[in-house]
Amino acid sequence: MTAANPCVLVIDDETQIRKFLDIGLRAEGYDVLLAANAAEGLALAATRNPDLVILDIGLPDREGHEVLAELRQWTQVPVLMLSVRDAENEKVKALDTGANDYMTKPFGIQELMARLRALLRNRATGAEALPRYQDERLHIDLGLREVTLDGEPLALTRKEYAVLAMLVRHAGRVVSQQQLLREIWGGTHVHDTHYLRIVLGKLRQKLGDDPTTPRWLKTEPGVGYRFLAGNG
């Protein structure tokens, strides 16, 4: 995936829509990922890091609103929602859940392409502002979603990356356990601190960061965690 070939993930259970979008998007120079249900779509979003998601509201296994809410727990990738439902409250619900745009089926391919270009322009502008961190061992680029240790890519799970990214965004400051849990796991998990301890433990293990003498990830007992940006 390159800047010249942005990748679009299409999550839609209608075969005809998937084929229509696949042909249209590829003709415009996009790389395309296709998913017929929520489970496939979430798996592709987590493993392939698309630049944009086209998400149908009416999926066979889960509502598109639920899929969007889950995506927003760990990524801000632009999402354009599709639906046969034209009611204003449906559009408002999609945008309130975190959608960047909304189109009603049937739609014209040229209008869709124009909206995708606008969303990608907005994302590129935002990506420039995402922080980076680098010392002689660790390199983190949130815009590119890259983490390397001693020159080698670090294999992180979605949650491990999300926790690290949030701490880097607030480098030098304490991020509370509740804030991490709310933004990464969702509002119903603000008391599930064991989730966070497990993820932090695995992150430290992969970084080789000793919690008794931390280089990057410092625990603030009873409060939260801090990324030590000044230690590099």
pLDDT score, position 37 = 97
Rounded average pLDDT over 150-178 = 88
Cβ–Cβ < 8 Å for 79, 55: yes
Residue 106: pLDDT over 60? yes
pLDDT score, position 1 = 32
pLDDT score, position 218 = 92
Rounded average pLDDT over 107-116 = 90
Cβ–Cβ < 8 Å for 55, 27: no
pTM above 0.75, yes or no: no
Length of the chain measured in residues: 232
DSSP 11: E
End-to-end Cα spacing for the chain: 30
Q: Which residues of 86-122 are buried (b: 16+ CB within 10 A; e: fewer)?
A: eeeebbebbeebbbbbbbeeeeeeeebeebbeebbee
State whether the Cα torsion 180-184-187-193 is positive or negative.
Answer: negative
Q: In whole angstroms, what is the distance from residue 193 CA to residue 177 CA?
A: 7
Full set of structural domains in the chain with CATH: 7-128 (3.40.50.2300), 132-231 (1.10.10.10)
pLDDT score, position 204 = 96
Residue 215: pLDDT over 50? yes
